[in-house]
Amino acid sequence: MDSVNQDQAIVAEPLAHGERARFFTAAGFDGLDCLEATFRTHRYALHMHETYVIGGIFAGCETWMARGARRYGGPGDLCMVNPEDVHDGEPHGEGFRYRMTYPSVDLMRRLASEIAGRPVTETPYFPEPVVHDPGTVALFAGAFATLARGGDALAVEEQLLRAYGRVLIRHAVIRPAETATDRIARVTRLMRERHAEELSLDDLAAEAGLSRHHLIRAFRRETRMTPHAYLLSLRVQAARRRLRAGEAPAEVAAATGFCDQAHLTHAFKARFGVAPGAYRAGLHL
């Protein structure tokens, strides 16, 4: 499935009293997406990202489903979501505060190459979604603090490189990227290429060489999502890219297969935690 950015994941519900979410980009670091948030009631819909999700919990407790198991993260816990890992997220108890970053696959491969002293073409993989690592979490906290006070790009780059270096050395394995079965891979490729079109189950089943019933079962087994949910995530990710290019939300909705801007807003916030307009505005901070 295609990813959403975290701005999109926050979109569906307005923030409750006492909640806040600040999305921004680290301009000198490949345009790295960052999110600092406090959630008391906000729940993320089941979604995925084309990037990694790496950061720390600083207060309270977050719970989420990942790879078929329920996870919990508290203060000092480091969270690591691999690209296209389907997950959700919600407060456990009275809420939580976290700081998350969304590094690209290319960025993590480059950093892994620097650490290994050789070209790394494989995709770094994090087998554990959450580990207790307060030292690394503190490095992310320092980077966010520097960004918040408008620190220079070199300082931010140094702090983030140290944080990601520790994450890769301590918690990653380097292995070829896992793929779905050939039939479902063909379907997801078709959906990526034609996500703005009105695709039917007949179209997808024909691409897979399966009946519609078997397609749905196989698709859920491989992705933990239905074809419709997967397509919606692809559209949200396409919307994110267009928003980053400066397009207006109404134009983006029409170009990415949403029936109207309200539908885009609902889907975007459910997956990224902020509305399309807020996400677009955050790009210029």
Looking at the fold, whether 117 and 186 belong to one and the same domain comes out as no
Query: Which of 175, 206, 228 delimits the end of a domain?
Result: 175
Looking at the fold, whether 209 and 160 belong to one and the same domain comes out as no
Position 54 in a domain:
yes
Residue range 45-91, pLDDT digits in tens: 888 898 999 999 999 999 999 887 899 999 999 999 999 888 999 99
Looking at the fold, whether 20 and 83 belong to one and the same domain comes out as yes
Question: What's the confidence (pLDDT) of residue 165?
Answer: 93
pLDDT at 12 over 70: no
Looking at the fold, whether 122 and 248 belong to one and the same domain comes out as no
CA gap 172, 163 in Å, rounded: 13
Question: What's the confidence (pLDDT) of residue 13?
Answer: 42
Looking at the fold, whether 186 and 168 belong to one and the same domain comes out as no
Looking at the fold, whether 72 and 212 belong to one and the same domain comes out as no
**Structural domain that includes position 40:** 6-175
Position 148 in a domain:
yes
Position 76 in a domain:
yes
Position 206 in a domain:
yes
Position 141 in a domain:
yes
Give the CA distances from residue 160 to residues 78, 154, 163, 167, in Å, rounded to whole numbers and listed in that order: 14, 10, 5, 10
The Cα angle at residue 8 between residues 5 and 222, in degrees rounded to 5: 65
Q: Please tell me the pTM assigned to this model.
A: 0.63
Confidence of residue 8 (pLDDT cuts 50, 70, 90): very low
Structure tokens at 119: 């070209």
Looking at the fold, whether 139 and 29 belong to one and the same domain comes out as yes
Looking at the fold, whether 52 and 33 belong to one and the same domain comes out as yes
Q: Bin 89: left if φ > 0, else alpha if -120 < ψ < 50, else beta.
A: left
Looking at the fold, whether 93 and 210 belong to one and the same domain comes out as no
**Average pLDDT of the residues in 257-279:** 89
Position 266 in a domain:
no
> What is the chain's mean pLDDT, rounded?
86
Domain of 159: which CATH number? Answer: 2.60.120.280
Confidence of residue 24 (pLDDT cuts 50, 70, 90): confident
* SS3 assignment, position 205: helix
Looking at the fold, whether 95 and 214 belong to one and the same domain comes out as no
Domain of 243: which CATH number? Answer: 1.10.10.60
Residue range 188-204, pLDDT digits in tens: 999 999 999 999 999 99
Residue range 225-258, pLDDT digits in tens: 999 999 999 999 999 999 988 898 999 999 999 9
- Number of structural domains (the chain) is 2
The candidate with the shortest Cα–Cα distance to 131, out of 66, 59, 76, 61, is 76
